């Protein structure tokens, strides 16, 4: 009887397929994935790539939200301090406007107001991660510096630019409020009001002191309103961070359902593949042996 090459070729193919099944099962056990290359499941691989892209976007949005939240919290803390200083200035201004207050006491109060002005400027020059918090979009310099030619004694070095940061596919937040808007606004000039009060106290005019104190009250109301903007931003970002965290979990679950495999199932698949491979090899050995014997007859 002649040697049958077709039969032996078929046996070799069976062995190759069986060995491949073992390798695939072993890889699933090692990686915890049932899809390790596109050829394993082209449709699942395509969907997985799309989910990974979505997850990358969520990671970027989360990073942005975290950074902006920290910045907003820093600004919120700064404005809390500014509000406290302005309240102190109002109390001192009210005392200075009292007709019973002596000129010597007014000079002392003026010194305190100058100190408050300096503290407010210091707060206005707060930096966040090396960038001026209230300098608009200008970096590398303090938002306010001393300037003897200015009526307030300071000049603004920033601009009116704002940074809009994406924290979602259709959600952006304003990361900053320029210092010119917060501290030298034409309708509520914080630095100007404090400077005017200090000058009025030095001059000792009760009515001028009262007017300057009223201006500080207006500035306080304005800053308080801007303070609330940061508070709203913080609340919005906190909610967005929660949403993004949940979205990350959802995407991870969807990814796992597409390409993941639990350890028990992977181990069972490997055992079955190895058992099947042993059977194929045993059968192949018999087929080849019989084929050779028949050939030798």
- Each residue's pLDDT tens digit, 26-84: 676 667 676 777 777 788 889 888 999 999 999 999 999 999 999 999 999 999 999 99
Q: What mean pLDDT is reported for the chain?
A: 86
Rounded to two decimals, the pTM is 0.77
Q: Which domain holds residue 247?
A: 52-253
- If we measure between CA atoms, which residue out of 37, 12, 24 comes closest to residue 283? 12
Q: Is residue 27 part of a domain?
A: no
Q: Is residue 190 part of a domain?
A: yes
Q: Which residues contact 75 (CB under 8 A, 6 or more apart)?
A: 126, 128, 133, 134, 176, 177, 230
Q: Is residue 20 part of a domain?
A: no
* CA–CA distance, 50 with 117 (Å, rounded to integer): 55
154 and 110 housed in the same domain: yes
* Tens-digit pLDDT profile for residues 144-165: 999 989 988 899 999 999 999 9
Adjacent-strand bridge partners of 172: 166
222 and 289 housed in the same domain: no
119 and 235 housed in the same domain: yes
CB-side exposure of 251: number of CA atoms within 13 Å? 19
295 and 201 housed in the same domain: no
Tokens 């390798």 -> residue: 23
Q: Is residue 39 part of a domain?
A: no
162 and 274 housed in the same domain: no
Adjacent-strand bridge partners of 164: 174
73 and 163 housed in the same domain: yes
Structure tokens that stand for 87 in this block: 């309240």
**Domain CATH for 146:** 1.20.1330.10
Domain count, the chain: 2
């Amino acid at each position: 009887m002649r040697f049958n090459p077709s039969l032996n070729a078929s046996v070799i193919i069976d062995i190759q397929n069986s060995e491949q099944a073992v390798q695939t099962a072993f890889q699933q056990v090692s990686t915890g994935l049932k899809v390790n290359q596109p050829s394993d499941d082209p449709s699942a691989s395509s969907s997985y790539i799309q989910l990974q892209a979505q997850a990358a976007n969520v990671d970027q949005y989360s990073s942005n939200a975290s950074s902006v939240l920290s910045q907003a919290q820093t600004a919120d803390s700064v404005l809390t301090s500014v509000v406290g200083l302005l309240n102190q200035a109002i109390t001192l201004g009210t005392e200075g406007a009292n007709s019973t207050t002596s000129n010597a006491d007014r000079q002392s109060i003026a010194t305190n107001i100058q100190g408050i002005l300096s503290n407010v400027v210091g707060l206005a020059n707060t930096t966040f991660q090396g960038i001026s918090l209230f300098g608009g979009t200008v970096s590398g310099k303090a938002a306010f510096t001393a300037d003897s030619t200015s009526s307030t004694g300071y000049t603004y070095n920033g601009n009116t630019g704002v940074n809009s940061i994406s924290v979602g596919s259709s959600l952006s937040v304003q990361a900053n409020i320029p210092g010119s808007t917060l501290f030298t606004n034409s309708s509520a000039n914080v630095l100007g009001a404090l400077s005017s009060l200090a000058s009025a106290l030095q001059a000792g005019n009760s009515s001028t002191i009262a007017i300057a104190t009223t201006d500080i009250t207006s500035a306080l109301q304005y800053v308080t309103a801007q303070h609330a903007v940061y508070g709203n931003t913080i609340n919005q970002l906190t909610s967005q961070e929660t949403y993004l965290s949940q979205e990350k979990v959802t995407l991870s679950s969807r990814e796992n359902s597409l390409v993941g495999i639990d350890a028990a199932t992977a181990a069972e698949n490997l055992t079955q593949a190895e058992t099947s491979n042993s059977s194929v090899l045993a059968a192949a050995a018999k087929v080849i042996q019989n084929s050779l014997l028949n050939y030798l007859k």
